[in-house]
Amino acid sequence: MTGAPGSGRTTLATQMAVGRILSGIPAEKVLVISASRTAAARMRQDLSTQLRSTASQPLARSAASTAFSIVRAWAVANGEPPPVLVSGPEQDAVLAELLEGHLAGEGVAPRWPETLPVESLQLTGFRAELRDLLMRAAEYGLSPEELTELGQRYEYQPWIAGGMVYGEYLDVTAQRWATPDSGQRFDAAGIVDSAANLLALWHSEYGDNPHGELPPPPRWETVIVDDYQEATAATVRLLHVLQDAGAELLLFGDPDVAVQTFRGAQPALMARAGQPRGSELGAFGAERVVLDRVWGQTPELRTITQAVAPVVGAVGLVSHRNAPSALDATETAPTGAEIAIATSPARELAHAAYELRRAHVVDGLDWREMAVIVRSGAQADEARRALTELGVPVLDDAAEVLLRSEPAVLPLLTALDYAAHGALDIDAALALLRSPLGGLDSVKLRRLRRALWLHLRHEELEQSVDDAILELLQQPNLVRLPAAIRRPVERLRAMLEAAHTAAQEPLASAETVLWAAWHATGLARNWQEQALAGGSAGRQADRDLDAVVALFAAAARFVERMPGASMSAFVNQVRSENLPADSLAARATGQSGVAVLTPPAAAGSRWEFVCVLGVQADVWPDVRLRDTVLGAQRLTEVLTGRASGLDRDYAAARRDVLHDEARSFLLAVSRARTRLLVSAVEDPDSDLLPSAFIQVLTTAQVPVTEAAGIGDPRRVPVSLRELVAVLRRSSLDDADPQRRQASEQLLAALAQHAVPGAAPQNWNGTAELSTTEALAGPDDPVYITPSRLDSFITCPLRWALEQAGGTQAPSIQQSVGTLIHELAAELPAGTAEELLAKLDEKWPSLGMPSGWVGIVKRADVEKSVQRLAQYLGEGRSVVSVEEPFDLEIDRARIRGTADRIERTDSGALRVVDFKTGTYAKNEDIPRNSQLGVYQLAIERGCFESEHTSAGAALVYLGGPNKGYKQMPQLALSEDEDPQWVENRIAQTADQMADSTFLARKNSACPRCPVRRSCPLQSEGGRVF
């Protein structure tokens, strides 16, 4: 039965299965074979709903699952242990080991074509091609020797070498897993062929001796194959055996939407089913029926599907393409198709997210009625992440994700590694801290580094910050850390310790150690609560939990299959996996969310609203030839008789690839029942252009629009956050009192439902002042540091907020400044060589990142040290360095330290303050408070008996000048107002004790750490 997308093939297949069972055929004698395990799960659900009963065995299976049930039954019938299916990642890991061995001169010595560089044998891409070749060989039932022979016959080296590796692969897998209690192992590709052979053998042996020890083989009366266009040669061989054993075959398909040709699907087999039975592979003597109505698409969308269909090359059957839509043209609103062109990939995703949310919120469409289809798995991952962040709940497709790329899995693998080796390196430690288990973002990580750096300084410990981080994670430590970074560190430390302890147990395995590590994090409950709370954080927690559960399942499988293998072997296996783990297990279909899929995963499903994203030139269609290296596709062509030799007609090969790409696009656009959005990015500067498929749609009169971004007036609020924002704006709009009142009422209603941001009490700027009290009483002393005096004068508000904790973590620049001050203090007359040697010693303590950032910074610091050496080498007389002082002026208590005190020829003292930042303005130096305070300290006798100040100076060691730059201040006694500094201190102390502080705009505002709380700044204005 051939039918266009939406013609009801799957529905009819379901109904025929139900009809057969209701007419009296036992349910276990009816088998439905679906194209994938997801499609089989859906089919099972439909069947059990309609039959209102469950069967003793699954009614619907994938071909591999059907084959597995046959080989399992055969093993049971012969008293053997049950067989095991080798997962894709396991296969890949074995091939990687074999190829590595060949490079080291071990094992067989396959001779690959000379055009293949030796290094390429270690590439994932090469293994993917090799795996593909071996799977195709297994699919067609070729033995290793037969593959090699075929290579010799066609003088094609990759098949000769591939046959040798195939033989070695089978030997190694048989040996590796050969224990008395483990059954035979099968690859997913080879299992269908093996099942066909076993079943034929079983029938023949049983037929010869029906009363012998062998029980009767499994037999079905009706076998229904849905999406027959995805059938491989092995599946067809199995169908022949089933038909020969008396089964009625019902085949449903559409060759135009085959999307598994890369796995060996042969859509052309559909046309062959009507050939006289047994005349060739796939000739079943079938009667042909064409479904002549389309029920799954509106007339408008059906026209679009019909416009795309001719791009797919015909493989014998085309009459089904003419079927018109049977739906009413005005059925539901909104309907139709639209092409959206965006200016960037981010905008494309934002547009899709908006349209999905709008369809849910405004049109009332359930999330599960919508899907996003993209061409590749990588695009699907990206779309899933972006849509989740944009507030669209998406269904997780855990089976498509590699465990090793799951952020929640990485720290647990590190814990296993640590348990195995008892050591941690700094990269792993930093990755742990940044992981979901650590939870430190780059700002918090910087805070941690600074806190450790200050601790090491304070304790005078000669240890680098990196070493301190490693120590912190491995031993209880006395470093006092802020709570926000202390807890994650303690959690990770507990995890590592628990893993290490568990690994010492006599029966320790990857599974037991993993459990101990996970348990020690104590995150299970937190994540569970977050997951249940919903929202994007909830979805992330949900996904993290799923990933952890999948890791436990992988560990359990590993321990079961490789008893006694080391923990490192498990870690290596997970880390080297390049394919998502395959499983025959049925998967849940009950979640609510938007499905984000590739065309093969979307096959067999239909949604009201479908977004097809990323339809870019060179991406979809991607007409690069798929198997230019090892000829897996050529093998299929030769074995199916589509090619007589190996001389490739490249134009024809490219045409085949284009047809495959067109099939997947056709499948994607035909998944929409009532509404279709197709989008692409047009940004010639980034070489991003819409695909030729977009052109095909425009010829079918699909309108093109520009993708709307955030803030576009065409957008209506489609999330509570947006709605609250709009209402709050209009509730303050005096120009429209009616609208204002309606907004207030709606806000009040939302506030009653605790919608965040709706209640005015929570709005910034509406809270009462917490206090109007002054910072200090009238007679209380005010403590001031010299450097703070000027910062108060520059901006009192910044000073006040910084006093209250609004400071930034010390920057790298500040740490470098402290280091240079230390050099100047330790070597007050140091030469350039001595200072640079000291710098060498102290440099690691900065914990500077390696790479070019570290190299550039180091070169910069060395220049400053040279300038310092220049200053120190000019023969000035030094009285003291880092000299503390204490000064009292009225209520002000000034405490500080002078970098360097020098004696001039006249015997007077001069204070020098070293700076590594940008130069001060010349006009500010005469009234620089810091220098003034130092001078006052000299005059008040804070340093020694000499009370005469010869002035003070800022000496800049950074900046653009080749040498240092000195900016001197006159002696107070020579100033026209010798009392200026005393007056300033007294006045400032009073202002500092006040209860109000002015914000004063200045040149440092752009770098101000409290600008988000400053009423003069746009980002801070909302606070007051």
Q: Which residues bind ligand SF4 (CB under 6 A)?
A: 795, 797-798, 999-1002, 1004-1005, 1008, 1010-1011, 1014, 1016-1017
Q: Which two tokens stand for residue 335?
A: 């309907």
The Cα 717–Cα 44 span in angstroms is: 40
How near is the Cβ of 927 to ligand SF4 at its closest, in Å?
19
Q: Which two tokens stand for residue 175?
A: 């040996």
Residue closer to ligand SF4 by CB (options 568, 1017) is 1017
The closest of 657, 718, 813 to 367, measured between CA atoms, is 718
The closest of 955, 948, 954 to 971, measured between CA atoms, is 948
Residue closer to ligand SF4 by CB (options 517, 1008) is 1008
How near is the Cβ of 415 to ligand SF4 at its closest, in Å?
44
Name the H helices within 566-686.
Answer: 567-576, 599-602, 632-640, 650-669
Residue closer to ligand SF4 by CB (options 675, 798) is 798
Residue closer to ligand SF4 by CB (options 376, 803) is 803
The Cα 363–Cα 355 span in angstroms is: 10
Residue closer to ligand SF4 by CB (options 808, 880) is 808
The closest of 169, 49, 37, 35 to 98, measured between CA atoms, is 169
The Cα 652–Cα 648 span in angstroms is: 8
Q: How far is CA 709 from the centre of its chain?
A: 23
How near is the Cβ of 615 to ligand SF4 at its closest, in Å?
46
Residue closer to ligand SF4 by CB (options 787, 831) is 787
Residue closer to ligand SF4 by CB (options 9, 798) is 798
Span between the terminal Cα atoms of the chain, in Å: 71
Bridge partner list, 953: 912, 968
How near is the Cβ of 1014 to ligand SF4 at its closest, in Å?
3
How near is the Cβ of 1006 to ligand SF4 at its closest, in Å?
8
Contact 5, 670 (CB under 8 A): yes
Bridge partner list, 705: 340
Residues constituting the chain = 1024
Classify residue 109 as exposed, middle or buried by CB count within 10 Å of its CB (0-12, 13-18, 19+).
exposed
Classify residue 404 as exposed, middle or buried by CB count within 10 Å of its CB (0-12, 13-18, 19+).
middle
Half-sphere exposure of 408 (CA within 13 A, CB side): 19
Tokens 């099939």 correspond to: 663
Letter for the amino acid at 701? Q
How near is the Cβ of 1000 to ligand SF4 at its closest, in Å?
6
The closest of 304, 379, 307, 308 to 348, measured between CA atoms, is 379
- List the beta strands (DSSP E) in 416-506: none
Residue closer to ligand SF4 by CB (options 807, 983) is 807
Transcribe 135-191 into DSSP letters.
Answer: HHHHHTT--HHHHHHHHHHTT-HHHHHHHHHHHHHHHHHHHHT--TT---EEEHHHH
The Cα 876–Cα 853 span in angstroms is: 36
The closest of 306, 336, 374 to 702, measured between CA atoms, is 336
Residue closer to ligand SF4 by CB (options 876, 1011) is 1011
The Cα 447–Cα 449 span in angstroms is: 5
Indicate the DSSP class of residue 532: H
How near is the Cβ of 794 to ligand SF4 at its closest, in Å?
7
How near is the Cβ of 988 to ligand SF4 at its closest, in Å?
16
Letter for the amino acid at 1005? C
How near is the Cβ of 795 to ligand SF4 at its closest, in Å?
3
Letter for the amino acid at 179? T
Residue closer to ligand SF4 by CB (options 403, 999) is 999
Residue closer to ligand SF4 by CB (options 1001, 1022) is 1001
Residue closer to ligand SF4 by CB (options 277, 1001) is 1001
Residue 878 vs residues 819, 932, 939: alpha-carbon distances, Å: 20, 20, 18
Tokens 């360097």 correspond to: 900
How near is the Cβ of 128 to ligand SF4 at its closest, in Å?
55
How near is the Cβ of 1021 to ligand SF4 at its closest, in Å?
10
How near is the Cβ of 1010 to ligand SF4 at its closest, in Å?
5
Phi and psi at residue 713, in whole multiples of 5°?
Answer: -65, -15
Residue closer to ligand SF4 by CB (options 331, 1019) is 1019
Contact 828, 872 (CB under 8 A): yes
How near is the Cβ of 793 to ligand SF4 at its closest, in Å?
12
Residue closer to ligand SF4 by CB (options 301, 1010) is 1010
The Cα 1023–Cα 237 span in angstroms is: 73
Bridge partner list, 881: 900
Tell me the pairing of strands 877-889 and 370-373: unpaired
How near is the Cβ of 804 to ligand SF4 at its closest, in Å?
12
Tokens 């977009």 correspond to: 694
Phi and psi at residue 805, in whole multiples of 5°?
Answer: 110, 0
Residue closer to ligand SF4 by CB (options 816, 1014) is 1014
Q: Which two tokens stand for residue 337?
A: 């198709």
Tell me the pairing of strands 222-225 and 30-34: parallel
Axis crossing angle, helix 63-77 with helix 188-208, rounded to the nearest 10:
50
Residue closer to ligand SF4 by CB (options 608, 802) is 802
The Cα 810–Cα 785 span in angstroms is: 18
Residue closer to ligand SF4 by CB (options 196, 1014) is 1014
Residue closer to ligand SF4 by CB (options 763, 1024) is 1024
Residue 633 vs residues 5, 150, 473: alpha-carbon distances, Å: 27, 14, 51
How near is the Cβ of 1020 to ligand SF4 at its closest, in Å?
7
How near is the Cβ of 1017 to ligand SF4 at its closest, in Å?
5
Tell me the pairing of strands 84-86 and 185-187: parallel
